Each structure stands twice: as C-alpha cells, then as structure tokens.
Amino acid sequence: MERYKENQIKVYNSLSKKKENFKPITEGYVGMYVCGPTVYSNAHLGNVRTFMFFDIVYRYLLHLGYKVRYVRNITDAGHLENDADEGEDRIAKKARIEKIEPMEVVQRYTVDFHNVLKNYNFLPPSIEPTATGHIVEQIEMIKEIIAKGFAYEVNGSVYFDVLEYNKNEHYGILSGRKVEDLIHNTRTLDGQSDKKNPQDFALWKKADERHIMRWPSPWSDGFPGWHLECSVMSTKYLGEQFDIHGGGMDLKFPHHECEIAQSKTCSGKTPVNYWMHTNMLLLNSQKMAKSTGNFILPNEILSGENDILPKAFTASVVRFFNLQANYRSILDFSGEALEASEKGHTKLMEALNLLDKIESDKTSTFNVQEWENSCYDAMNDDFNTPILIANLFEAVKVINHIREQNASLTAPDLLAFKKALNSFVFDVLGLTNENHQANSEKINGVVELLIKLRKEARENKDWALSDQIRDELIVLGIQLKDGKEGTTFSVN
Ligand SMILES: [Zn+2]
C-alpha cells in the first residue's frame, strides 16, 4: 500500500538544524545509510539505541509502502584508537592482546552483534557491507581525491587536505566547527605527524611492521582511514546522492564531516539530503564506562546476569523503554525506569489480548479514524515514538472501557482498530508479546495435565472428580470437548 502518498514525514535534519519535509530523490524509494559498529568488542548498549531508532525509521518507511534500501556497514579495519589518526587499529590491538587473528576478532564480535540485534527483534538491513570487502574501491577513491588536488602522500600515507578543501567548500558544515578552531583543539603531534596541517585526516595509512591487517596500494602496504569506507560504500550502494544518513551524534565530527568532504570532492555533489543523529545513552545518570563498573551489555539485561539492574527484562520491554524517549533526547537507562516501562508494556499487551475477545456493537463511541490519524501524525513528526506510545495508551483506555461496557465499536470500526493497533505495536515499533506467548504455553501444559487426570478419574469411575475438573475449567473460560480422538480444549 502506498501510504506514503498521504503521509508527509518531517525529518529533523542535523545539517540544517530544522525539521524539513522529507522528499526522497526518487518517489517511492528511499536510500538510507547508517554507520555500523566497529567489531572489536561486544555490542554496546548505546549503539543498540542508535540502531534501534533506525530500525524504527526503516520499519515505518516500509509500513508507509516505500521501497527502502537500508545499508549498514561493519567496520572491520582502519578504525584507530583515537580520532587524530593516532594509535593502533582497534581490531589489530584486540587481536594482539588476545593472541588471535584480527579476522577472528571480527568474526567473534560480528556474530555477537547479530545475536544482540536478533534478540532485540531488529530487521536486518538490505546490505551489510564490510570495510575489508571494499579495499579496492577505497584505493580508487583515494586516487580520485589525489587527482583532484585534495589529498597528498607523505612517507606512504595519504592525507586529505582540509585547508585546500575549505577554500571553496565548508569543512564543518555539519558539526558547526570552524577550521581555525580545530588547530587549537587538535593535539600537537610532537613532530611525529606527516600531516601538512593538524586538521588533515588520513585516507591511507602505511602499516608498520607489527600491523598484520595490511593491503598493497600505490603508496604503501597499509590500510584505509576509517572515514573513507562509509563514503565508498554509501556511494557504491546508494549513489552519489542519497536520502538519509544516520548515526550516533558522536559521529558528527570528525567522521561524518570527513565523509561529506570526501564524497563531495569526488562527485561535486552534496552526498546526503537528510542527516539524522541519535542522542546518547546514560546508565543511572552517568556515562557508561567499563572502567568505572557503570556498564552493562545488552544481553546481560535479558539474562539478568548483572549487578546494575534488579532483575531480568525482556527485549520487548527494553525496546519499549527506548522508544518512550525521543531519539534526540538523552536516554537515562536505570532499573527503576525499566520497571516502570515493564508495567506499561504489560498493560499494553494485556489490552491487546483483550481486544481479541471484544465483540462489536451497533454504534461506535470512539472515532477510530481520528485516533489512527493521530498515530500517523506522531510518526510523521520526525518519528516521534513517545507520542505514538501515548496514543497507544489512549487505545488501551478504550479497550478497557469497552470491556466495562462503557464504550462500543461497530464491526468495521473494531476491525480497523485491531488492524491499526497491531500494525503500530508489532510492525512499526517491533514490540513482541512475549509474556502472552510464554503464558499460553504454560496454560496449554496445565490444561493437558488436567485432561490426563480427568481421563484417569473416568477410568476409575470417579465421575464426581471428572465433572469437577470439567466444570471448574468452564468457569475459567476453558471448554473441554470429548471426541473420538480424545479430549481437546478451547480457551475463550
Ligand atoms: Zn560511517
């Protein structure tokens, strides 16, 4: 269904710092690139927040009927320990410490990342390209930037010439940083650096003898700079200009600023129409850090194996909690807040279970269309999930009123209400009714046991007990049916 025709989304564009009407380059199609993880350690909860938000963007665009190509990369080489092109490659360092191959590090943490995302019910992206899978293309892009006069080689490494670029373009257009200020903010590199200017950034680094992750190039055996892979892979899969580029706000500078400079140098075009950035996540009002112990892994929340939270929480509750905050606000993760979300989540799921049992009436006391429109309005307004969730709780109220016979819906309204509610809860927000499933499995087990006991009672001609089991189950809404194949049951 081409719902996008009647739903004008507004996107807060980090580039213009304004909400803008979203208009894709090609009608009906959306190209979206999100910077993926550097796979040198377990998936970080802050990253999960970022990817979860873009999962919602992806889900909603699909719901509106857009054909979406969603590209999220895996950084498996070239990401150095700090942004000043200094220090070791993060993956190579981990490999050295653990005495394993860098590709073993990459494999281990890519598997972990996928496992976390699967647990949290993420839709997989359309393409998940890797940096090491695109070394040839990265070398080609460096050649192009050198040929255009915006990069230079020194001792086997190649750097992007920020000052040259800034003569006619605006380096800092996204982050608001000024090139002059960057000189003072950049650590002076005690004569070690080959860079002409401290603002310049590496496109290619010559590998020293310790460095195992290396590839031949016209300049040296080495490896690409981190920023380059995203320019290369977004251009390759989405074109020189595409619709949405996302990531955590910590990537605005230097990573995304450098991406813009590289891509614009090659194509002469503004690469991205809408930049979207998610805000950070705190744990108990403080920055999450392994060193201070204020740290939790996404899977530890599910298993309950941690010292931070009072108990385990389901993935759907964590998702619900995340989406109760706007993506541009700081999210403060805590046991208390999660417990509050769990209550809300249960209320919502209980209402959805009730909805299946509700019967229609002759008149409607609730305007379903108006309510549905307000759900779309919330999502159209820069993917405002907290407002959508507030609307879902309006629906919960209505369901409870119907149950108490204080409200009613006609058959077509009831059908439309169920359809819209289910699609917003499960398709758009990606929540799951885990407790419902787990409980119904338990109920099935218990009823099967009672059926067995009733059969034994009948075999012993204990009709009183047999009838008691049947009658008391009826009171609970469970109907036993005796047939040739044995006894079956239905739950009302
Ligand atoms: Zn990136």
Ligand 1 centroid–CA 36 distance in Å is 7
- Ligand 1 centre distance from Cα of residue 247 (Å): 8
User: Distance from the CA of 76 to the center of ligand 1, in angstroms?
Assistant: 12
Using the mean position of ligand 1's atoms as its centre, give its distance from the Cα of residue 163 in Å: 22
* pLDDT of 237 higher than 90: yes
pLDDT digits (tens, 9 = 90+) for 156-184: 999 999 999 999 999 999 999 988 877 65
State the pLDDT at residue 438: 60
Structural domains present in the chain? 3-278 (3.40.50.620), 283-432 (1.10.730.10), 435-491 (no CATH)
Separation CA 58–CA 426 (nearest Å): 14
Determine the distance separating the centroid of ligand 1 and the alpha carbon of 255, expressed in angstroms: 6
Task: Kindly give the distance from the C-alpha atom of residue 132 to the centroid of ligand 1, in angstroms, as a whole number.
Answer: 14
Amino acid at 291: S
CA of 35 to the centre of ligand 1 (A): 4
CA of 278 to the centre of ligand 1 (A): 14
pLDDT of residue 191: 46
CA of 382 to the centre of ligand 1 (A): 22
1 CA from centroid of ligand 1 (Å): 32
140 C-alpha to ligand 1 centroid (Å): 18
Confidence of residue 93 (pLDDT cuts 50, 70, 90): confident
Q: What pLDDT, on a 0 to 100 scale, did the predictor assign at position 49?
A: 96
pLDDT of residue 84: 63
Render pLDDT for 446-456 as a digit per residue (tens, 0 to 9): 888 999 999 99
Give the Å distance between the CA of 208 and the centre of ligand 1. 25
Task: Determine the distance separating the centroid of ligand 1 and the alpha carbon of 256, expressed in angstroms.
Answer: 7
Return the number of other C-beta atoms located less than 10 Å from residue 3's C-beta: 12
The residue type found at 328 is R
List, in order, residues 6 or more apart from 4 with CB less than 8 Å away: 28, 61, 64, 65, 66
pLDDT at residue 189 tops 50: no
| Residues linked to residue 218 through DSSP beta bridges, in sequence order | none
Higher-scoring residue by pLDDT: 68, 486: 68
